[in-house]
A and B are shown apart, each in its own frame.
Chain A
Amino acid sequence: MNTLLKLNDVHTYIGQYHILQGVNFEAMEGQVSVLLGRNGAGKTTTLKTIMGLTPASKGEVEFRSHSIKKSPTYKVAKLGIGYVPENQGIFADLTVEENMKVAMRKEDTATLERQNYVLELFPDLKKFWKKAGGHLSGGQKQMLSMARAFINDSKLMLIDEPSKGLAPIVVEKVMEAIVEMKKQTSIILVEQNFIMASRIGDTYTLIDDGRTVHSGKMQDLIHHEELKRKYLGIG
């Protein structure tokens, strides 16, 4: 299995705050790699560093063996990395259709097919095609955000806390969608909801205080009471 994305001893500053103080992380092709950790540990910042929104000051960030550490955000996106931020980033005054359209880099058959595929996955989006993004429910926004990230033949999708604030039944749908999408792309997932994370994740990386403290197969973590208690406050 190939390493798709690799972070090596990454440090990131936001202003004068030293948020990431040595993050090591590897995401494999075709897998769901989960970033776990407490609030404020640095998980979201890690995703933002990958995207170039908060660039790394030290360390290596490599996508398919090419360094993207100094790449501007739009170039990172064009390389095939899709981003689903914590607040979904929906353009509120644009319709669902327009949100999808603005995300599309090419309007060729392949992209349109992917759009159909994703609309099958999230039928609600088809139903509210002409509705303004700002009027969608939380769950629908989440779906739209994922659909947008998926539509450009993304090799890798970064998804930040998709289950946050959603009703359990919606969380189920979101999880199913991620499992579906995994067939065509690779996913890095940030999740606080451990139950969800453990069900769909293949590998995990535990982050605490901006540093990687542990990583491995998700199967192993599920039974590791001590780690769960210490870094996730579970059990």
Chain B
Amino acid sequence: MELFVNLVINGLATGMLIFLLAAGLTLIFGLMDVLNFAHGGLFVWGAYAGIFTYVFTESFLIGIVGAVLTGALLGLITEKLIITPVYGNHIQQILITLGLMLVLQELIKVVFGPNGVAVKTPSYLTGSWEIGDVIIIKYRVFIIVVGFIIFGIFQYMLKKTKIGLVVRAGVQDKEMAQALGIHIKRVFLYVFMVGAALAALSGMLMAPYSGVIYAEMGMEYAILGFIVVVIGGMGSFSGSLLAAILVGLAGSFMAYYVPVLSLAVNMILMAVVLIFRPQGLFAMRKERST
């Protein structure tokens, strides 16, 4: 029983972190038709910036704020300098965002050193609860709660606010949105910045969870992010949550029962979806011709 509960909680926690990473990716792709291969760079910068802020100010909360601000700032710079110049050209986008990923990753090593950094959870989130004879780790529950709260906030914003409406309309048909007077390029910028901030947040929350941060983790988690975006459907916000939970749980259970497959299972899942149902399991947009 305890094993099962823990595997589920583990899976959900990992899933939430991947969701935060993938949510930005899927919105950016859905709205702007840009697949941001540099998203992992935002993730790892969020982690490092956030953790160092946390250590410096001795406040986990301020650390989180630091991470989010870093993400938004990097998102702003990226969108203006990197994405906009190659807008419309898919191949250049793929190439350039990958290049940025490389640069971001190496910059971490320049600024923070090439070695991994050990991270501890803040004291009030360390430890576990005992419910019956099941031990539940506090930090994991924290992540799950944060994840759901963020999801809730964004769902509300998407469904009930004007800007959310504008984003949803833009995902469906950006030309028509412009023809209705919407300055879609500015919406792109906001969405990109928000997506980047989410990725950074994910990195920050991941840090105490895994106990260590290192430059390469950006790319590693980014791959999981892509897998979730593909499975959930490009542009589908709720799809990315469901897919992330699926991937998180699959990884968690596989890691225990068939560890050899755990790394492979998600990639196989993505390959299967891409080959048989490329629009994803919960797609929101019609496939375009390029």
The answer to whether A and B touch directly, with their CB atoms under 8 angstroms apart, is: yes
Q: Which residues of A contact B (CB under 8 A)?
A: 51, 53, 72-74, 77-78, 83, 85, 89, 91-94, 98, 101-103, 105, 148, 152
Enumerate chain B residues within 8 angstroms of A78, measured Cβ to Cβ. 181
Question: Judging by beta carbons under 8 Å apart, are B162 and A152 in contact?
Answer: no
| Given A91-B169, A93-B168, A101-B165: A85 in contact with B184 (beta carbons within 8 A) | no
- Does B166 reach chain A (CB closer than 8 Å)? yes
- Does B2 reach chain A (CB closer than 8 Å)? no
Q: Mark B176-219, 1 if CB is under 8 A from A, else 0.
A: 11111111100000000000000000000000000000000000
CA distance A152 to B179 in the complex (A): 12
CA distance A53 to B172 in the complex (A): 17
| Given A94-B165, A94-B172: A51 in contact with B179 (beta carbons within 8 A) | yes
CA distance A103 to B178 in the complex (A): 10
CA distance A51 to B168 in the complex (A): 22
- Does B175 reach chain A (CB closer than 8 Å)? yes
Q: Which of A53, A91, A103, A152 is close to B168, meaning CB atoms less than 8 Å apart? A: A91
CA distance A94 to B179 in the complex (A): 17
- Residues of B contacting A: mostly: helix
- Does B58 reach chain A (CB closer than 8 Å)? no
Question: Judging by beta carbons under 8 Å apart, are B168 and A74 in contact?
Answer: no
CA distance A89 to B176 in the complex (A): 6
Closest beta carbon of chain B to A25's beta carbon, Å: 19
Closest beta carbon of chain A to B194's beta carbon, Å: 19
Closest beta carbon of chain A to B190's beta carbon, Å: 15
Among residues of A, the one whose C-beta sits closest to the C-beta of B177 is: A102
* Count: A-B pairs, CB below 8 Å: 57
Closest beta carbon of chain A to B234's beta carbon, Å: 14
Enumerate chain A residues within 8 angstroms of B183, measured Cβ to Cβ. 74
Question: Judging by beta carbons under 8 Å apart, are B181 and A91 in contact?
Answer: no
Among residues of B, the one whose C-beta sits closest to the C-beta of A73 is: B178
| Given A101-B162, A102-B166, A102-B169: A91 in contact with B176 (beta carbons within 8 A) | yes
Closest beta carbon of chain A to B266's beta carbon, Å: 28
Among residues of B, the one whose C-beta sits closest to the C-beta of A89 is: B176
Q: Which of A73, A93, A98, A101 is close to B179, meaning CB atoms less than 8 Å apart? A: A73
CA distance A102 to B165 in the complex (A): 6
Enumerate chain A residues within 8 angstroms of B162, measured Cβ to Cβ. 101-102
Question: Judging by beta carbons under 8 Å apart, are A83 and B168 in contact?
Answer: no
- Does B35 reach chain A (CB closer than 8 Å)? no
Enumerate chain A residues within 8 angstroms of B179, measured Cβ to Cβ. 51, 53, 73-74, 77, 83, 85, 89
Closest beta carbon of chain A to B208's beta carbon, Å: 38
Among residues of A, the one whose C-beta sits closest to the C-beta of B179 is: A83
User: Nearest 3 CB-CB pairs, A to B?
Assistant: A89-B176, A77-B181, A73-B178
| New A-B contacts (4) at CB < 8 Å, excluding given A77-B179, A94-B165 | A53-B175, A89-B175, A103-B180, A152-B181
Q: Pick from B166, B178, B183, B284 the residue with the most CB of A within 10 Å.
A: B178
| Given A101-B162, A101-B165, A102-B165: A92 in contact with B172 (beta carbons within 8 A) | yes
CA distance A92 to B181 in the complex (A): 19
CA distance A231 to B290 in the complex (A): 35
Question: Judging by beta carbons under 8 Å apart, are A91 and B173 in contact?
Answer: yes
Question: Judging by beta carbons under 8 Å apart, are B166 and A74 in contact?
Answer: no
CA distance A85 to B178 in the complex (A): 12
CA distance A51 to B162 in the complex (A): 24
Closest beta carbon of chain B to A201's beta carbon, Å: 23
22 pairs from A and B in contact (CB 8 Å cutoff): A53-B178, A53-B179, A73-B175, A74-B178, A74-B179, A74-B182, A83-B180, A89-B175, A89-B179, A91-B172, A91-B176, A93-B172, A93-B284, A94-B165, A94-B168, A98-B165, A98-B168, A98-B169, A101-B165, A102-B166, A102-B177, A152-B181
Enumerate chain B residues within 8 angstroms of A98, measured Cβ to Cβ. 165, 168-169
Enumerate chain B residues within 8 angstroms of A102, measured Cβ to Cβ. 162, 165-166, 169, 177, 180, 182
CA distance A226 to B188 in the complex (A): 51
Enumerate chain A residues within 8 angstroms of B176, measured Cβ to Cβ. 85, 89, 91
Enumerate chain A residues within 8 angstroms of B172, measured Cβ to Cβ. 91-94
CA distance A53 to B166 in the complex (A): 19
Among residues of B, the one whose C-beta sits closest to the C-beta of A72 is: B178
Enumerate chain B residues within 8 angstroms of A73, measured Cβ to Cβ. 175, 178-179
CA distance A108 to B27 in the complex (A): 30
Q: Which of A51, A89, A105, A152 is close to B173, meaning CB atoms less than 8 Å apart? A: A89
Enumerate chain A residues within 8 angstroms of B184, measured Cβ to Cβ. 74
Chain B residues 243-289 with CB under 8 Å of chain A are 284
Among residues of A, the one whose C-beta sits closest to the C-beta of B165 is: A102
Among residues of B, the one whose C-beta sits closest to the C-beta of A52 is: B178
Closest beta carbon of chain B to A131's beta carbon, Å: 16
Enumerate chain B residues within 8 angstroms of A51, measured Cβ to Cβ. 179
